[in-house]
Amino acid sequence: MPELPPFEHTSHDTIASTCANVRASFLSHKTRPVEFRLVQLRKLYWGLKDNSDLIVEACKKDLGKPTFETYLAEVGWCMNDIIFMTKHLHAWAKDEKAEYMKLMNTLFAPKIRKDPLGAVLIIGAFNFPIQLSIGPLIGAIAAGCTAVLKPSEGSPNAAAVMQKIITEYLDPSCYTVVQGAIPETTALLDQKWDKIFYTGSANVGTIIAKKAAETLTPVTLELGGRNPAFVTKQADARLAARRLLWAKIHNAGQVCVSQNFTLIDKEILPAVIEEMKKALQEFFPQSPHKSPDYARIVNQRQFLRLKKMLDETSGKIVIGGTMDEGDLFIEPTVVVVEHMDDSLIRDESFGPLLPLLPVTDLDEAIRIANEVHDTPLGVYAFGSQKEMEKVISQTRSGGATLNDGFFHASLPTMPFGGVGTSGDGSYRGKASFDVFTHRRSIAQTPKWAEFALAIRYPPFTGTNKQQ
């Protein structure tokens, strides 16, 4: 196994020239041919495949991420996205005909070109360091943009491996990595971009959006939020317990789309708790702490933030609750809480904490969820088909899954994104191509039509022109 490359902050002095080079490459039209983009995508595929062991190692070091989860949600995820993109790129990049109107189509041959937006900046988050950086990059390459990637410094080993892959496999004049934290990102934001694609917290999203507004730079924001889950008394207790737990143990709950709180019918609550106990025993027979299949919290700051949330809860811990600061371990912890103002619900937990708020019926649950001012990234529902559909029709969210945790987010064929405070814009599949593409309307007026178009020129004499 080759050694993990070191993570080094990019020198400030080089940031402006790096961005200028990427812009110059875009203006050289090098990335315009679809064939060029396909070659780069295929190289990226092989870069990921050749370095998959290194990625596994990096994610293990950064987040204690289990090997299986890294293949599933990082390496394999991005490789599948590339396959899907390369399969469809020619069709998506083709000119589109405008809606048919006989006279208009005969006279002006209207069509919509798919033009790349230009030189773009992609800023990634720490929790799925490869997926959330390479995923948007796939879209940028496919659309014909050039790009600078700024991975999260929160997962430095994964950031360094991505830099190695991008440097070794892709055209260095078109795609490059800038490493660093707030100072480097701030320096990047001072450059001119044709789009900024940001994944991370709403607080930083606000900083990015404000800065971009100064130069009218378009922004895509993939943010977080407080996602509700609903469990009615008609739900299958075992299924709900296993699937809600899965959504909170994957990556130790550091998943933007996992549920932040569960509104659960009082009648089914005891059965769901019992099933959660059984499921945890089954998932981690030797305890989560000893299991190689359970991730760690990314750093001490995040660990202490989660610990504080748990210390301050007025709820009753019914499962778990143990922590090990030295190992950044937090046990999957289920807490029955009394109100929405509980420390476990007030803010997005982004960890393996599962507050359950008992309610009397679905109407109450929906009312409570809708009282949360911010619009969530995901909504999850367990109950009868009619009840689940009621949840969907009476709530808002970026996406939703019925009968499961965040599964909608893992389908490569659907756009993924938030709404309102959970984000603006979406990507994955065709949406990844679209988000970096400008739909440019082109008309062509034929020379022969001059006699028919003469009506538009002054002087406006004659019956019709005078009216």
Pick from 5, 116, 118, 154 the residue near ligand NAD by CB under 6 A.
Answer: 154
- Which is the catalytic residue, given 57, 69, 184, 222? 222
The yes or no reply on residue 320 touching ligand NAD (CB under 6 A) is no
Residue with tokens 């709900």, as numbered in its chain:
240
Long-range contacts of 369-373, Cβ-Cβ distance < 8 Å, separation of 24 or more:
369/228, 369/230, 369/263, 369/395, 370/394, 370/395, 371/340, 372/226, 372/228, 372/340, 373/421
- Least Å distance, CB 200 to ligand NAD, is 3
Pick from 222, 265, 424, 434 the residue near ligand NAD by CB under 6 A.
Answer: 222
First to last CA, the chain: 81
Are 336 and 383 spatial neighbours (Cβ–Cβ below 8 Å)? no
Pick from 201, 299, 403, 410 the residue near ligand NAD by CB under 6 A.
Answer: 201
Residue 336: its H or E element: strand 333-336
Within 377-396, the residues that bind ligand NAD by CB under 6 A are 377
222 classed as catalytic: yes
The residue among 280 and 377 lying less far from ligand NAD, judged by its C-beta, is 377
The residue among 206 and 445 lying less far from ligand NAD, judged by its C-beta, is 206
Instruction: Count CA atoms within 13 Å of residue 11 on its CB side.
Output: 3
* Closest residue to ligand NAD in the complex (CB): 224
Within 59-88, the residues that bind ligand NAD by CB under 6 A are none
- Which is the catalytic residue, given 19, 256, 331, 387? 256
- Least Å distance, CB 130 to ligand NAD, is 12
The yes or no reply on residue 423 touching ligand NAD (CB under 6 A) is yes
The yes or no reply on residue 181 touching ligand NAD (CB under 6 A) is yes
- Strands (E) located in 45-188: 96-97, 111-116, 119-123, 146-150, 175-177
Characterize the bridge pairing of strands 195-199 and 219-222. Answer: parallel
For the chain, the C-alpha Rg in angstroms (whole number) is 25
- Least Å distance, CB 398 to ligand NAD, is 8
The yes or no reply on residue 405 touching ligand NAD (CB under 6 A) is no
Query: CB under 8 Å to 339, separation ≥6 — which residues?
Result: 357
Q: What is the C-alpha to C-alpha distance for residues 216 and 462, in angstroms, rounded to an integer?
A: 46
The yes or no reply on residue 351 touching ligand NAD (CB under 6 A) is no
The vertex-190 CA angle with 189 and 192, nearest 5°, equals 85
Pick from 62, 81, 194, 348 the residue near ligand NAD by CB under 6 A.
Answer: 348
- Least Å distance, CB 19 to ligand NAD, is 15
Active site residues: 222, 256
**Residue ranges that bind ligand NAD, judged by CB under 6 A:** 123-127, 132, 150, 152-154, 181-182, 185-186, 199-201, 204, 207, 222-224, 256, 348, 350, 377, 418, 423
